[in-house]
Structure 1
Amino acid sequence: MEITVLGGCGAWPAAGLACSGYLLDHDGFLLLVDPGYATLPRLLELVPAERIDAVAVTHKHPDHCADLNPLLRARALRDDPAPGLPVHTLPGALDAVLALDRPGMLDEAYDLQEFAAGEAFEVGPFGIETMLLPHYVPNAGLRIRADGATVTYTGDTGPSPLVAELAASSDVLIADASYAEEVPEDSAAYLTSARQAALQATEAGVGRLVLTHLVPETDPDAALRAARDGFGGPIDVARPGLTLDVPQQSG
């Protein structure tokens, strides 16, 4: 399994960057996770829109799903429209994004497949387990596996023992790290710091930690320093172009 980061900003895209977006490739099947603000131009630098095989969205906030609209437009508004794109998400999470265009304009461009948090399902070669994690709105953490390789992605979440439960023994944990050291009091139940993400990664016994959803004011180097105090394995900050190869595990 190969993971390519399209963006990792929280709330809004900083200059030259993009919000949450991750392209997972296994045996040529392309799964796009969380097409947030400004991710589509980065995606189109890699593959044409019609090459995407499926999309998974963790929650309704636009920094995680806004660029689904231009992705669908890029697939539908052409001489040879692409087939309907399977889109997996929580009930109602994409109502606002899918209502941006005139009624019926993009109806044939997607195949909405809603799931309840806690359900598991298959998407091409990927098996996906889901878990409701604490955020301002319903947010589904995703545990994604393919041929023994496992990646867990929190979406946006407050600190919770459920993160370590979902991520247990994952090869890679892509974790909300909105702030380096401390989350402001009014958001402490709904967002996570890099320091907290590192402790959760250690508890889960993951192989690698990727810090994501850094708000534009968060210094990536400060986030890395904070995370290194709590996690001894490799740590990355989610930046456009970061690519990770997650090898198949034997046994």
Structure 2
Amino acid sequence: MRLTVLGACGAWPDAGQACSGYLVEHEGFRLLVDLGYATVPRLLESVGAEQIDAVFISHGHPDHCADLSPLLRARFMRDEPAKPLPVYSLPGALDAVLALDHPGLLADAYALHEFAGGDLLDIGPFRAQTRLLPHSVPNAGIRLTAAGKVLAYTGDAAPSDEVVELARDADLLVAEATYVDEVPPALRRILSSARDAGRQARAAGAGRLLLTHLQPGTDAYAALAAARAGYDGEIGVATSGLTIDLTER
């Protein structure tokens, strides 16, 4: 199983960067997990739009799903349209982004598979366990298993026992860390800090932690230091182009 970061900015893309988007590959199958602002241009630098096999969207905020629209256009508005793209999301999460085009224009470009939090999904070679995690809108974390390796991804989520269970003994936890040390009081029930991510990675027994969704302008070294205060495993910060091959560990 291999993870490639397409983008990792929280809320909006910093100059030359992109928001949350991850390409997960195994046995030739290409799964996109989230598609925030500016992720499709990053994707198309190395992979054709028609080569994507499925998409999973954690929640309906545009920094996690806005670029589903250009991906569908790139697959469908061509001489030989690609087959309908399987898209997995919580009910209603993609209503806004799918309504950007004229009604029916891209109806044949995708096959929407809505699921409930807690559902188990088979997506290509991946066994996907979903879990609702606390955020301002319904948000599904995902735990992907293939060939004995486990990757857990939180989407956006406040600290909770549910995050710990999602990441239990995972080889890699990709965790939202919008802030460094303290989340502003008004946002503590919907977002996490790098310090929170470190504590939760330790509680889960995760083998490796990748901090993502840092607010643009955040000091990455400060985020790493805050996470290390609670977790003694390997820690990194997600950046566009970063690749992690879980089968090598």
TM-score bracket relative to the smaller structure: over 0.9
Q: 1:161 is matched with which residue?
A: 161
Alignment map for 1:62-77 (pairs within 5 Å): 62-77=62-77
Alignment map for 1:87-102 (pairs within 5 Å): 87-102=87-102
Q: What is the one-letter code of the residue matched to 2:2? A: E
Deviations 1:17-50 (A, max 9, x none): 1100000000110000001000001100110000
Identity of aligned residues (%): 61
When the two chains are superposed, the root-mean-square deviation of aligned CA atoms in Å is 0.9
Which range moved further: 239-248 or 45-54? 239-248
Counterparts of 1:167 and 1:190, CA distance in 2: 18
Deviations 1:53-92 (A, max 9, x none): 0000000000000000000000000000000000000000
- Which secondary structure state, in structure 2, belongs to the residue aligned with residue 74 of structure 1? helix
Contact 1:147 1:248 survives alignment (8 Å): no
Counterparts of 1:191 and 1:207, CA distance in 2: 22
Counterparts of 1:243 and 1:232, CA distance in 2: 22
Contact 1:133 1:162 survives alignment (8 Å): yes
Counterparts of 1:67 and 1:198, CA distance in 2: 29
Counterparts of 1:137 and 1:105, CA distance in 2: 27
Deviations 1:130-154 (A, max 9, x none): 1110000000010011111100000
Alignment map for 1:103-122 (pairs within 5 Å): 103-122=103-122
Report the Cα offset of residue 248 of structure 1. 7.9
Q: Which runs of 4+ in 1 moved over 4 A?
A: none
Which range moved further: 153-162 or 211-220? 211-220
Q: What is the one-letter code of the residue matched to 2:65? A: C
Deviations 1:103-126 (A, max 9, x none): 111000000000000111100000
Counterparts of 1:184 and 1:173, CA distance in 2: 23
TM, length-normalised to structure 1 = 0.98
- Which secondary structure state, in structure 1, belongs to the residue aligned with residue 108 of structure 2? helix
- Which secondary structure state, in structure 2, belongs to the residue aligned with residue 71 of structure 1? helix
- Which secondary structure state, in structure 1, belongs to the residue aligned with residue 35 of structure 2? coil
- Which secondary structure state, in structure 1, belongs to the residue aligned with residue 170 of structure 2? coil
Contact 1:169 1:204 survives alignment (8 Å): yes
Q: 2:13 is matched with which residue?
A: 13
Counterparts of 1:46 and 1:148, CA distance in 2: 27
Is the counterpart of residue 22 in structure 1 residue 30 in structure 2? Answer: no
Q: 1:132 is matched with which residue?
A: 132
Q: 1:174 is matched with which residue?
A: 174
Counterparts of 1:238 and 1:18, CA distance in 2: 11
Deviations 1:179-209 (A, max 9, x none): 0100011101100000010000000001110
Gaps of 5+ in 2: none
Contact 1:156 1:191 survives alignment (8 Å): yes
Contact 1:148 1:248 survives alignment (8 Å): no
